[in-house]
Amino acid sequence: MRLDHVVIAVRDLGAASDRLRGAGFDVRPGGRHVGFGTENAICRFGLDYLELITVRDEVEAERSSVRSRELAQYLRRHESGYVGFALAGEDLDSVAARLRAAGVAVGDPTPMKRRRPDGIVLEWRLLIPGDVAWRRPWPFFIEWGMPDRERLTLEAPGAHANGATGIAGVSVAVRDLVRARGLYRAVLGPSVHEGTGRSSFDADGVHIDVVAAGSDSPLLERGPGPFEVRLRAPGAREPIEPLPAVRFTFE
């Protein structure tokens, strides 16, 4: 499996897109998630990307799914922040079976689609442990309905003035490291590094660092989940925080 994208929730999609552009990212409109009341913008590197997501229609979001309702609740409390990340695979039914064998509660993959501003509709399936993708100690999973090469002709990688060329890693805060290890091992295999209070897993060249945090840790202020993204870039770059609770380091 590979890292597909990291999700950043924002109240104001236009303003957040402008702030990331000011930090040197090429950000483009993504489109609307049909039937879910949400809308996004994309900061693409290759197959991997950053997704800015907002609630466009609160009434539709409240009616549509637990996922959209949780996002709306998060954005009532916070202006922005990392809320989740997705791993991509070609057989989500097999992923679901592996998760269940590891004792993880997970339903069946569900269909999704996004209508781009040009009218083209992209379709995929999602698999979400525990039925909620946001602020959880695990990823959710995506299976695209279009070949990767064809998708990249529709949404070409951006030219990022800050030098970023891809996502190198994601750091995830968890309360129960032993339980989290079981889930990550089920989908990514054995850890590639074990340290005090952390385990690292490889997702096709991207390191997922799972970090144990105590109940009073600031890393858990918004609940478990991603708290830092590491980006690939040539040369030295200072860390940046273009949005509240959104921190990028470069390597």
Domain boundaries defined on the chain: 2-154, 166-250
pLDDT in tens, 94-112: 999 999 998 888 988 989 8
Cβ-contact 61, 68 below 8 angstroms = yes
pLDDT for the residue numbered 96: 93
CA-to-CA dists, residue 35 to 55, 66, 121, 126, 198, angstroms: 12, 13, 13, 15, 38
Asked if 140 and 133 touch (Cβ cutoff 8 Å), the reply is: yes
- For tokens 């209070």, name the residue: 197
Q: Give the side-chain half-sphere CA count within 13 A for 167.
A: 30
pLDDT tens profile 142-154 = 999 999 999 999 9
Tokens of 64: 């549509």
Q: For the chain, how big is the Rg over CA atoms in Å? A: 17
User: Rounded CA gap, 75 and 54, in Å?
Assistant: 8
In the chain, the amino acid numbered 204 is: D
3-state SS class at 96? helix
Instruction: Write down the pTM of the prediction.
Output: 0.95
Percent of the chain's residues with pLDDT above 90:
85
Question: Is the CB of residue 250 less than 8 Å from the CB of residue 233?
Answer: yes
The string of pLDDT tens digits covering residues 200-210 is 999 999 999 99
Q: Which CATH architecture has domain 166-250?
A: Sandwich (2.60)
May I ask the CATH class of domain 2-154? Answer: alpha beta
Q: What's the pLDDT at 67?
A: 86
Distance between first and last Cα of the chain: 22
